[in-house]
Amino acid sequence: IAGITQAPTSQILAAGRRMTLRCTQDMRHNAMYWYRQDLGLGLRLIHYSNTAGTTGKGEVPDGYSVSRANTDDFPLTLASAVPSQTSVYFCASSGGDNSGANVLTFGAGSRLTVL
Amino acid sequence: GQNIDQPTEMTATEGAIVQINCTYQTSGFNGLFWYQQHAGEAPTFLSYNVLDGLEEKGRFSSFLSRSKGYSYLLLKELQMKDSASYLCAAMDSNYQLIWGAGTKLIIKP
């Protein structure tokens, strides 16, 4: 089934630990995104990639890094987790043709708790 | 700054009609999206408007007024499965999405 796979589904992590959230899509979409979703706030863009080999910073990039070695994979790394990074993380992809009809397909989300 | 406003929560009765409003302020405008998100699940695309007017898609319709910076999502013949959060997002001149916090819709029998 075409779509986006995220892993892990949920994780509890000690502060200071390094964590990588994985995201893989099989739709050959050019653009990929990482969002965090917190109660009472809209989705906030962390990092994005318009095409393989390129990445960009979103609204809340501090403490996170990404890489885009190929079209399918877009991992998000927390180098040293802090409690404020407790959130639900969504990976998304789109055709990335920069048209207004740039519909996002989301993964199921990764719930991260940092203690 | 850029901003999206939508009500935090709404309640409606099964079989009725509900309208969820969204106002936006963005630097430039390239369209307005509505997504549905059931609790604990990913958002899924519902509609896209870039021109003024009403777009109808089954029980769901979406309206846009660019001059007023206003959109609404209209849900008819409400079903219990429509209980979800509805996210409004506007695309700015850089094709970046600005998201509202979502409207939680509670459907009562």
Contact A101 B4 (CB under 8 A): no
Q: What is the pLDDT of residue A40?
A: 86
Long-range contacts of A5-11 (CB under 8 A, 24+ apart): A5/A107, A6/A89, A6/A90, A6/A91, A6/A107, A6/A108, A6/A109, A6/A110, A7/A110, A8/A110, A9/A108, A9/A109, A9/A110, A9/A111, A10/A110, A10/A111, A10/A112, A10/A113, A11/A110, A11/A111, A11/A112, A11/A113
Which residue reads 């653009």 in tokens? A31
Q: What's the pLDDT tens digit per position in A57-76?
A: 999 999 999 999 999 999 99
Name the residue with tokens 């199921």: A108
Residues of chain A contacting residue B97, judged by C-beta atoms under 8 Å apart: 43, 45, 104
The token duo for B98 is 């600005």
**Can you say whether the dihedral through the CA atoms of B9, B15, B17, B22 is positive or negative?**
positive
Asked whether residue A33 carries a pLDDT value surpassing 80, the answer given is yes
Residue A104: closest C-alpha in chain B: B45
- pLDDT exceeds cutoff 90 at A99: no
Stretch A82-87: mean pLDDT: 98
The pLDDT of residue B5 is above 90 = yes
Best CA proximity match to A67, nearest among A36, A32, A92: A32
Neighbour count for residue B11 (Cβ, 10 Å): 11
pLDDT score of A95? 80
Residue A44 contacts residue A64 (beta carbons within 8 Å): no
Closest chain A residue to B5 measured between Cα atoms? A42
Interface contact A108-B42, CB threshold 8 A: yes
Please give, rounded to a whole number of angstroms, the shortest distance from the CA of A88 to a CA of chain B: 9
For residue B51, count other CB atoms closer than 10 A to its CB. 8
For residue A109, which residues of chain B lie inside 8 Å, CB to CB? 41-42
pLDDT tens digits along B27-78: 999 999 999 999 999 999 999 999 999 999 999 999 999 999 999 999 999 9
pLDDT of residue B95: 86
Task: Choose the mutation target among B2, B34, B97 for the interface with A, i.e. most A CBs under 10 Å.
Answer: B97
pLDDT score recorded for residue A102: 82
Q: Evaluate the omega torsion of the peptide bond into residue A8 and state whether it is cis, within 30 degrees of 0.
A: yes
- Chain A CB contacts of B93 under 8 Å are none
Name the residue in chain B with its Cα closest to that of A4: B42
Average pLDDT of the segment spanning A97-108? 77
Q: What is the mean pLDDT of chain A?
A: 93
User: Considering only CB atoms, which chain A residues are within 8 Å of B31?
Assistant: 100-101
pLDDT for the residue A42: 86
Per-residue pLDDT band at A1 (split at 50, 70, 90): low
Q: What is the mean pLDDT of chain B?
A: 96
